[in-house]
Amino acid sequence: MKRIISIISVLFCGLSLSQAQSVHVAEVLKKLDMENIRVAEKEDTITAAFETSAYRGIYNGIGIAIRHLIAVPESPTLQLVILDNALPQLCITLPAELIKDYQFGKCTLDEVYRNMMMTTSTQTAMQGLKDVKSQQSSFGKVDLVLYPGVMLVNNVTYKLYKAALDLQPALEMQLWKGASLRMQVCLPIVNNESGKWDCIRLGFMTVRQDFRLYNHWKGYITGGNFSNDRLGVAAGVGYFSDNGRWTIEGEGGLTGSSHFYGSDWKMSRWKRINGRLAVGYYVPGVNTLLKVDGGRFIYGDYGIRGSVSRYFGEYIVGVYGMYTDGAKNAGFNFSIPLPGKKRKRHVVRVMLPEYFCFQYDMRSGNEYARHFLGESYSTEPKSAENSRFWQPDYIRYFLIRTNKK
């Protein structure tokens, strides 16, 4: 009888310790201002899902979370699911033995980053959190994001460059899991081109729903006012491998023109159909993304486009070339981080976007512009796209690089 009582006592002590560890992990994440936190313990593994939206970029918030969580004494295996708009994007596993070696000085933080397991497959981990209530929800909280807008074009004969600088503030809000609202207006500051660049006009006015399909698929559907004066609906779906190196994406839309300059709003029927299919591969040794895509552009021309993007931490530099309906185009683009490495959430958070992105199109001759060749649109600011690069090799490499600095 005494033995039975002893065994039961040990079991209860072990259960209490594991529950205490789960609570400790949740409290650490709360203190770090993570959002949409869900924590559960099962079979000597603590699974924690959370969103790093208070921190600029992809790997900064992940590194901060790992450094604090592996310092928790007597920690079991940690399984971390990184969320974006409450949808799982990445699963990181830190074995208990690796955490113990770090705590006893047998390995460095660099070795933790090198030996932890990282995958884009999140379905199994999320099943363990199915009935767990979320803490520090981000839904319904508003961001006022002050986007800078720059236009620079040299495809006209009457001046060297057309140029414009705008301030493009946007109200952005997460509605529910995977859903977001964006309402933006463009305010002219200075330009050398009359017409729309002198007018207050609509920017992105969209409702977007992202979704995750099992381990290797994700997609989106969105409707509203897009860039390049387009109004309509667009949708896309993509496949990505476990290690995130291979991606296959398809997207398309049905749009019409939308011109809202000053107080005059003119719209056309939605009759323009566009679509594209893209294949990408991330080369980890040189931190470079190669992508080839082809399809139909807004005004019915068909073409192919190839791009090379090199990642330098949060900085991105890329070049591209395009061939459509017998005409060629090329250009470059870059993305740089803007001030505000941590953006703590308030009732209304006023901030700059995480990145400033710019693309310059060379265009071969005036015919390219005159016939509206290669015209496309974006359904959201480019800086938002750069904030979703969930590539495991990229994240691991720059976690190690930033730790050494």
Q: Tell me the mean pLDDT in the region 290-306.
A: 94
pLDDT band for position 186 (cuts 50, 70, 90): very high
Position 275 pLDDT exceeds 70: yes
Q: Tell me the mean pLDDT in the region 369-392.
A: 85
Mean pLDDT of the chain: 88
Position 49 pLDDT exceeds 90: yes
Position 390 pLDDT exceeds 50: yes
* pLDDT at site 265: 77
147-158 tens-digit pLDDT: 999 988 776 666
By percentage, how much of the chain surpasses pLDDT 90? 65
By percentage, how much of the chain surpasses pLDDT 70? 91
Locate the domains of the chain by residue range: 2-137, 142-393
80-138 tens-digit pLDDT: 999 999 999 999 999 999 999 999 999 999 999 999 999 999 999 999 898 899 999 99
Closest Cα partner for 237 from 220, 212, 255?
220
How far apart CA 391 and CA 282 sit, in angstroms, is: 8
* Least confident range of 169-178, 247-256, 257-266, 362-371: 362-371
* Least confident range of 31-35, 190-194, 221-225: 190-194
Q: Please tell us whether the domain made up of 2-137 is placed in CATH 3.90.1580.
A: no
Cβ within 8 Å of residue 50, ≥6 positions away? 29, 34, 35, 36, 37, 38, 65, 80, 81, 82, 83
Fold adopted by 142-393? Porin (2.40.160)
pLDDT band for position 218 (cuts 50, 70, 90): very high
* pLDDT at site 16: 45
* pLDDT at site 11: 39
Q: Tell me the mean pLDDT in the region 376-384.
A: 88
Position 313 pLDDT exceeds 80: yes
266 versus 302: the higher-pLDDT residue is 302
* pLDDT at site 12: 39
* pLDDT at site 153: 78
Q: Tell me the mean pLDDT in the region 237-255.
A: 95
